[in-house]
Chain A
Amino acid sequence: MTIKSKILSVILAGIACLFLANIYSSSQMNTAHKRYSSDESLTAHSSAWFSNLDTQFVSNLLAYDPMDGSEKNASYWDPSLNGFDGSTGPNPLFAAITNKNIEVAEELFGRVFSDAIMEELLTFAIAYDRRGLQLYCESSLYLVGVDPCEESAQPDYFLKFGSFVDSLEDGSVRRVTQINDLSGGKPVSINDTLAFALIDENDAIIGLVVVGRNVIDGLEQFSENFEISTAILMGERALTVHDYYDEERPPELNTLIKAGTDYAAKTGTFSYSFIAEEQGARISSIPFSKDIRGSDLRILIFDDQADLLATLKQEETKAFLAFALVSLVIVGLVFLMTTSSFRRIIDAIHLLERMGQGDLSAASATSGLFSSNNDEVSRLQRTIEDYRSHRLEAESHRVERAKRRDERDRIMFEKMALLADQLEGQAREMLKEEIESMQELVSSGSDEDKERASIEVMSKAFSRMSDEVTTLIDARTHELVAAKDEINSSIRYAAKLQNALLPKTMPGDFNINVEWRPRDLVGGDIYFIKDYPDRVYIAVVDCTGHGVPGAFLSIIARSHLDKAIDVDRYQSAGAYLSQVNELLKETLARSDKKNTSEEGFDGGVCIYYRKERKLEFAGAKSSLFNVDGVDATEISGNRKSVGSTRMSSDFNFTTHEIASPRGAFVMLTDGITDVMSPAEKPIAFGRRRVLKILRESSDKTPASIVDNIMSSVNIYRGGAPFRDDLTLLAFSLIHDEPEPSVVKAVGETT
């Protein structure tokens, strides 16, 4: 079921419901209205009928009432008056009744009633004595139904005459009297009657009088006045005017009577009013009189309502037609609106479907009945149109991209072809084949395939080119490595040379152990040992700088240490170091006129005079450490650097004399003391630690001293590399050894 059919069905169902509700409510209204109009017509008919009856009664019957009647009439029924001749009593009628003089009585009653009966004011007048003997009866000439004075006529009160008489003791009684024809020839006569007793001076009832008036006349008159037809119902028995005139009842009347009695039987009420639609009449039922029960005697009133009912029917039909027409219009409009909207929606769906299949051609925007620019469908159409234009834009971007990609591919193939041309033999063929297959790839298949192929081609081309570049770089790197190797090999050779300048043999009466470690292959640290027959020179020197420049300076320093030796004379250590200073300053001043740099060295020298067994020490920012037994001491040199610009050429270094040298002596460069801890705020290893190690070393031989200090230094620096060249030299004197003259190697021991 489409949404459109759903909407339409819902609307149809809604209208049907409304229709039903309308019918229901109007039927309710009708019922209420009918009930109201029933009550109203019941009241109207009752009051009209009763007033008709009462008027006749008052004007024709009540006049004979002994109490309420006319004065003249009243005098007839007064035992003490004689109304018949206008004299004062006694009343001859009473006498006649008492004396059973029926002829006289009849004659007297006749004088009272005959005229009225003749004038049709009364239908009949009957007089009885106390026991029910009819004294007088006179009835009208024009009678309907049975004649009350006939032998076969039997008034209803006759059945209970005794109690009827008793009921008159207290005054006259008005009642409806039915007089039946015992012979069955004539229909019942229904009369409005006034009955009263004749009471003598002893208050005894001596007779009674019943005057009556047939109501059929009144009923006819009533029917004519109200343009209705009527029927009298005595229990189940119905009487109509037609019955009294021996006419055939019209069948419609019979049908109406049947409808009326059926209604009473059905509802169990005897006072009602309803519209019998089939018969086109209102049927009302009212009691015959105020004093009689409806079940005993009532009147059915048939009010012709055919026109009214027809009009009502017509109005109902009109209303129904109007309702149907309005519904039809609403459904039609909704149908048109939904059809046109859904047609536009379906158009939009088709457009989207086409777009999904790649067709981006525009569709004419359809507008339908009742469509506006701002309704939902128009907005949908606009959105789709926007989407379509975005798709178009994207499509043109894609085309543009494909164009650029093709251009890129073209350039790449060009470059690769150039590359191929530069190659030779098989490699060239292979590359050419590769280019061909790649060209095929990027020129076939869908756009996506091409894109993927293009990227692949690009990556291949890049890897090709990068291979070439790598080859080139490899070649360059090779050159660089070769150059570096060359430099390294030069430095290694320089290191060999510098190493060759270090002393290789030691004086025989000395136990010397050295740790010499340039930070790089070569460095500014050197040590120097010269053995002469009478003396030994030992120097440990740290030239400024390290690496190659340091090494150069170290060679200069070494030559001056050599040159400053004066073996012919006693030379104190201080004098010797001062001499080196002078020589070095001279050399550096010559080489560097501006003298701005700080070239020179720190270091210490020891001179040992064998004969005197005397050790002398002089230091430039250097100390000599001595450990003897448990005691370790430091002999500090001057706080001046050799060769420094801050140093005068004639500075005299202090000579420290150790008269009888014992134990081990240690000389070192700041490569040892300046080893830093790895902390954030590091502290240098320092000379105090050196002294501590010297004191705490159990083995005080030079070899173990060097070992201890070096391992301490290595632990101290953690993983950090050395910052400087370092030299550590420890020596002790072997006093038991023969005189140095015995030693074979004399002089320069390099």
Chain B
Amino acid sequence: MIFEASQRTPLVELTSTSCLIRGECYPENISEWSDPVLQELENCLSGDEQEFKVEIELYYFNSSSAKFLFDFFEFLEESASGGKAISVDWRYRAEDDTMQEAGEDFEEDMTACSYKLVVVESEEED
């Protein structure tokens, strides 16, 4: 299942074993966009697969999207507690301190998932 990126929402690719989120996230009405995504995530995690790999590479999210991310991670935590091996890669550009800090914030709440901050090579920024 793929949720195409828009100007205000990121690309979301969900399979039964993986989840990729990439882009910016600041929709006018967060729940309108996030509800179907969370619904699909629930479907994907309800399968029998033992492993689930999450990759997140965001460039910006507003404060209401932060709530969506909290809900998202909370859901992952619940699933991980239920026995699924879930790994989360929080990817950020080295020079992007905002996203680095955001990643660090979320890390504090993660216990059951294996959470990693991953620095990616910047393509064009300084």
Binding site for B on A (CB under 8 A): 542, 544-545, 598, 602, 639, 641, 646, 670, 673-674, 676-677, 679, 681-688, 723-724
Contacts and interface: CB of A to CB of B under 8 A. Distances in A.
Contacts of A687: 97-98
A590 B33 CA distance: 28
Interface string B4-19: 0000000000000000
A673 B99 CA distance: 11
Contacts, number: 58
B50 interface: no
A679 B62 contact: no
Contacts of B24: 676, 682
Contact of A646 (B59, B70, B95): B70
B7 to A, nearest CB: 11
Nearest to B30: A598
Interface residues of B, number: 22
Contacts of A686: 95-98
Contacts of B122: 683
Contacts of A723: 26, 60, 62
Interface string B23-35: 0101000000000
B59 A674 contact: no
Interface in B60-103: 60, 62-64, 66-67, 70, 93, 95-99
A683 B105 CA distance: 18
A685 to B, nearest CB: 8
A504 to B, nearest CB: 28
A681 B58 CA distance: 9
B48 interface: no
Interface of B: 24, 26, 59-60, 62-64, 66-67, 70, 93, 95-99, 105, 108, 122-125
A544 B59 contact: no
B56 to A, nearest CB: 14
Contact of B97 (A542, A602, A641, A688): A688
B26 A544 contact: no
B125 A679 contact: yes
A681 B70 contact: no
A295 B63 CA distance: 151
A544 B63 contact: yes
Given A598-B66, A682-B59, 19 more contacts: A544-B63, A545-B64, A598-B64, A602-B63, A670-B63, A674-B98, A676-B24, A676-B60, A677-B125, A679-B124, A681-B59, A681-B124, A682-B24, A683-B96, A686-B96, A686-B97, A688-B95, A723-B62, A724-B62
9 contacts: A544-B64, A639-B105, A670-B63, A681-B93, A681-B125, A682-B24, A683-B95, A684-B98, A686-B96
B93 A683 contact: yes
A674 B62 contact: yes
Nearest to B23: A681
Nearest to A545: B64
B99 A684 contact: yes
Contacts of A724: 62
Contacts of B60: 674, 676, 682, 684, 723
B111 to A, nearest CB: 16
A11 to B, nearest CB: 84
Contacts of B70: 646
Contacts of B66: 598
